[in-house]
Amino acid sequence: MRLTDEELKQFDKDGLLFFPNKFSRQEAALLKQEAETVYAMEREEVWRESTGVARTAFAAHQYNEGFRRLGAHPRLIKPVEQVLGGPVYMHQYKVNAKAAFDGEIWQWHQDYGTWKRDDEMPEPRAMNIAVFLDDVTAANGPLLFIPGSHKAGVVEAGHDLETTSYPLWTLSREKVTELADQGGCVAPTGPAGSMLMFSSLLVHASPPNISPFGRIIVYLSLCHVDNHIRACKRPAWIAHRDFTPIDALSDDCLDELAAERLLAAE
């Protein structure tokens, strides 16, 4: 997959691109099954809400075959290589859930703000690319973005250690209001299998999910290999130490896994 000139211009302007139905319903369903398997594990990488439901599973590509393949999928790797101008490594991998009724907020933040402060990543030559494993609607806690906010650079932030189970460098209400007055606020929604890519400087958040419908989104945080982190303060399953360039697999790698699972079940 290569981005068109028009898509590259839009990404530069807004800091994000959204592609409905980039993965098939079958591919998304396979990965949702993998997510449920991962969330059932008692591992330090699986973080939970205060109610006990899963919030996020870090580094799932290291202990689950479906997510290993997704982590090297050409539909994800190639466009990021194109934007960042070269080979990339996996800085972080998250399978984020917003459980029905119990999914808590992710506060307003920039991902690069955390990567710079906590991991000493030299430059924002890194970005996120994500896949919806459920239909994401206005009701079940969609991501919120402020288009164009990546143009503000690294924004002053405070370290929130109390609001949720995962610490974040979060922005003040005043700063979020200032940025939103300039760029507005959008919430991409779409069917399972949709793909979203956004700048590591883009200001974003997500509200609680009090609906009866859960949603799962997988995030690959990819970084140019020359821009790898310099500090190793956080656990390796949160901020990876392997800076080896990712070699993309074949486009049908998830379909091949589904066929293998079907054969093994017969």
Residue holding tokens 């906010």?
A: 149
Question: Within the chain, which residues score under 50 in pLDDT?
Answer: none
Cα separation, 80 vs 91, in Å, equals 13
> Amino acid identity of 223?
C
What are the structure tokens assigned to 18, written together?
């959204």
Yes or no: say if 22 and 193 are a contact pair by the CB < 8 Å rule. Answer: yes
Cα separation, 119 vs 74, in Å, equals 27
What is the chain's Cα-based Rg?
A: 17
Q: What dihedral angle (degrees, nearest 10) is formed by the CA atoms of 200, 32, 234, 88?
A: -50
What are the structure tokens assigned to 212, written together?
């009866």
Which pLDDT score, from 0 to 100, does residue 49 have?
A: 85
pLDDT tens by residue, 86-138: 999 999 999 999 988 988 888 899 999 999 999 999 999 999 999 999 999 99
* CATH class as words, domain 5-265: mainly beta
Which residues fall within 8 angstroms of residue 56, CB to CB, at 6 or more apart? 46, 47, 94, 95, 96, 97, 166
Which pLDDT score, from 0 to 100, does residue 265 have?
A: 81
Q: How long, in residues, is the chain?
A: 266
pLDDT tens by residue, 206-226: 999 999 999 999 999 999 999
For residue 264, which phi and psi values (nearest 5 degrees)? -65, -25
Rounded to two decimals, what is the model's pTM? Answer: 0.94
Residue holding tokens 């591919």?
A: 27
- Within a 10 A sphere around the Cβ of 264, how many other Cβ atoms? 7
CA distances from 167 to 109, 219, 234, 253 (A): 11, 17, 12, 34
Cα separation, 62 vs 135, in Å, equals 26
Tell me which DSSP letter residue 194 carries. -
Domain ranges of the chain: 5-265
Half-sphere exposure of 152 (CA within 13 A, CB side): 23
Which pLDDT score, from 0 to 100, does residue 7 have?
A: 98
What are the structure tokens assigned to 162, written together?
């109390």
Which pLDDT score, from 0 to 100, does residue 35 have?
A: 97
Query: What distance, in Å, lies between the first and last C-alpha atoms of the chain?
Result: 34
For residue 256, which phi and psi values (nearest 5 degrees)? -65, -40
Using H for helix, E for strand and C for coil, what is the string for 99-137?
A: CCCCECCEEEECHHHHHHHHHCCCCCCEEEEEEECCCEC
Which residues fall within 8 angstroms of residue 151, CB to CB, at 6 or more apart? 15
